[in-house]
Structure 1
């Protein structure tokens, strides 16, 4: 945080890009609490009684207790909120808040981390503030994905890309003027052995283990559990879903947000599946030298059904 504040001071009179990625909310809740109650902090500068330029840690505990909230489970959230508040206050102090775009976004959900299920998995908060360029309080239901951020920053900065330079994302700047402006028809998700495409209405997910993963799982039950529950398996915390190990999954997100009713075997949706599979293949072909199942055969790719036994 101290480095971020110094950066803003040094670059306040010129265009800048600051990425502030907090790891605060990773790990068990008890660890957040312990971080606040430890008397000494070990840093590159030696032992510190409290972080330089950061709010008093003890006040976080006190404010939560006064509000009737459990400090152990909520300390990390309030501490992060305080940190973000300090950055926003600094922008105001420097007189550059109106023309600074601030984006707050999470990397993944919690309860279904490591899976491609939408709720508590791939769908995360994204809040963008830019007083000089975006109307306050606007909410959009349009689709965006994390690869769109770089394209957006380049667009706003007027960056001219070198010839042949490939971009995975698209600019979301049309949404800044019209919340209903379509940015993309679908989003692409990838985690371990799983791939998915999602439109506003449909979620199509696949699970294709590699040759190496199949061989590892055939060793013993422990290897099976480690592969399936680890991040490389593509299921992880989503394994509570009864369809988690299905090679193909299709869900209607408008009727089944929890993604529990797998429609993939219903002949009524054969056309929908064909369209979504075409989208997925188109996306996968963008990655050179990365085979995946029957979509991009070759290498260590395995088709569906290779581990049914």
Structure 2
């Protein structure tokens, strides 16, 4: 597949022309499009069985980062890392610290949130004269408020009294988001659609999200801007079931019922029609719908005449394909990322080095010429040189964390370790049985995450889910079907040592033997990266 992609992109470069001349440094606008649960197979140019012409054109017009990773594979912690540049295990949010007081092993998952007392990329940009905007799914602020709503699941959003309650709830969420460095916040979903606690609103509404993004783009500004557009697609409720997406009432939104609807995207029946004309089934039309949303933003930037002043980034918060989500396997960590910036990023370019979500915030600051505050804690590395043409490796080793598991990944290898907190390990040693999802039989080992639904489905399709130590040869086994840890002791020792180095950066956060005097294996001289 990779050879096909490279040929396709190389041909596109020939059609577009030579490497563009770089303009003098300016402070560009940044549009950050963050999707949800989107794997590589839902993008056309990556051999996905979907119709995504605008995303395909972004790959031709800009750069595809083919080994872009998220360091945690569920929503909240991944989004936290994108916006802060920090590993999610460093979170100091109220909910996170209640669950994991200092000194405890962390179980990183959907409990991370932006802290009011720490820097994130929007706060820094705002402090340096940027106009900042947020539209769409948050899932990184005030987890304690998500369940405090005043209506029932079968509530009718068309009822004026109920609808005003819903609008008031939405205004509250917009205000909470603004507290974290955003001048503009609208079209906000607190978390997933089900957290609206209303069956009628448990449907995707990309029209609403894009309408709010267009309003921000069209608003007068005297300074450059940063806009985060975060979609609910492709998360559940299953968007490929069109009653939750293209066949749903387009007036049902995160702020309740909006009778006038929206006029920023093609009609939904038109999306279905074009998808059929392209030769795809209706169940794949959700990908074209999202593609239309991206296209609407690209078109608005062009209409405003700010293309050369604007870098547009498209990426997902994590994957979902096969055994990826809520694990540290490739189909969860590795996601499609595209960057377009006419005149600065070479059309049709590809970068194969390891890049991660923790690198996004420092890259934005670097591109915008902003020196981070002295008290800004950041784990990431700027990949600005990559965007401007460098093919040098950004890093050799990447750390990942998810629930009870941790990993280190190189270009060719990945080592995953599962270690339980002492009190959990004691129960395991005593033969305690752990709750499974629903009515399934109890388990000898607990799921990696508190969410038994996600733990169940990840473990069902992943034969290595519960194995304490796992090694994968990514060159030969990108799907990580074969745990080869018994075959490569030197590489295993080396990667264990690398994992120990990473974990020792998290002061007061134990993780088995890796943080308690781990034995060095640096004597192995012939290790292959």
TM range (shorter): 0.7 to 0.9
Q: 2:506 aligns with which of 274, 287, 299?
A: 287
Q: 1:82 aligns with which of 292, 304, 327?
A: 292
- 1:102 and 2:316 aligned: no
Separation of aligned partners in 1, 2:303 and 2:296:
10
- 1:243 and 2:464 aligned: yes
Conservation of the 8 A alpha-carbon contact between 2:319 and 2:335 = yes
- 1:3 and 2:225 aligned: no
Separation of aligned partners in 2, 1:114 and 1:278:
24
- Of structures 1 and 2, the one with the larger relative CO (CA 8 A, separation 6+) is 2
Question: Per-residue deviation at 1:209?
Answer: 2.0
Question: 34-43 or 179-188: which moved more?
Answer: 34-43
Separation of aligned partners in 2, 1:129 and 1:86:
15
Conservation of the 8 A alpha-carbon contact between 2:412 and 2:474 = yes
Q: 1:22 aligns with which of 216, 231, 239?
A: 231
The one-character-per-residue Cα deviations of 1:181-238 (angstroms, maximum 9, x if unpaired) are 2111122111111111110111111111224545499245535389427566896525
Q: 1:177 aligns with which of 375, 388, 401?
A: 388
Which structure 2 residues correspond to residues 67-146 of structure 1 after superposition, within 5 A? 67-71=278-282, 73-110=283-320, 111-112=322-323, 113-118=325-330, 120-146=331-357
Conservation of the 8 A alpha-carbon contact between 1:202 and 1:250 = yes
Which structure 2 residues correspond to residues 137-176 of structure 1 after superposition, within 5 A? 137-176=348-387
Separation of aligned partners in 2, 1:6 and 1:40:
18
Name stretches of at least 5 consecutive residues in structure 1 with no aligned partner. Answer: 299-309
SS of the equivalent of 2:307 reads: coil
Name stretches of at least 5 consecutive residues in structure 2 with no aligned partner. Answer: 1-209, 437-441, 518-529
Aligned residue number for residue 49 of structure 2: none
- Closer, same or farther: CA 232–197 of 1 in aligned 2, 3 Å: farther
- 1:273 and 2:492 aligned: yes
- 1:218 and 2:432 aligned: yes
- Closer, same or farther: CA 155–238 of 1 in aligned 2, 3 Å: farther
Question: Per-residue deviation at 1:20?
Answer: 0.7
The one-character-per-residue Cα deviations of 1:73-105 (angstroms, maximum 9, x if unpaired) are 212211100000000000000111122111111
Conservation of the 8 A alpha-carbon contact between 2:312 and 2:340 = yes
Conservation of the 8 A alpha-carbon contact between 2:319 and 2:333 = yes
RMSD: 2.7
- Closer, same or farther: CA 176–229 of 1 in aligned 2, 3 Å: closer
Alignment size in residue pairs: 294
- 1:257 and 2:470 aligned: no
Query: TM-score, structure 1 length as denominator?
Result: 0.85
SS of the equivalent of 1:265 reads: coil
Aligned residue number for residue 306 of structure 1: none
- Closer, same or farther: CA 38–176 of 1 in aligned 2, 3 Å: closer
Separation of aligned partners in 1, 2:285 and 2:423:
42
Query: TM-score, structure 2 length as denominator?
Result: 0.51
Question: Per-residue deviation at 1:45?
Answer: 6.7
- Closer, same or farther: CA 98–176 of 1 in aligned 2, 3 Å: same
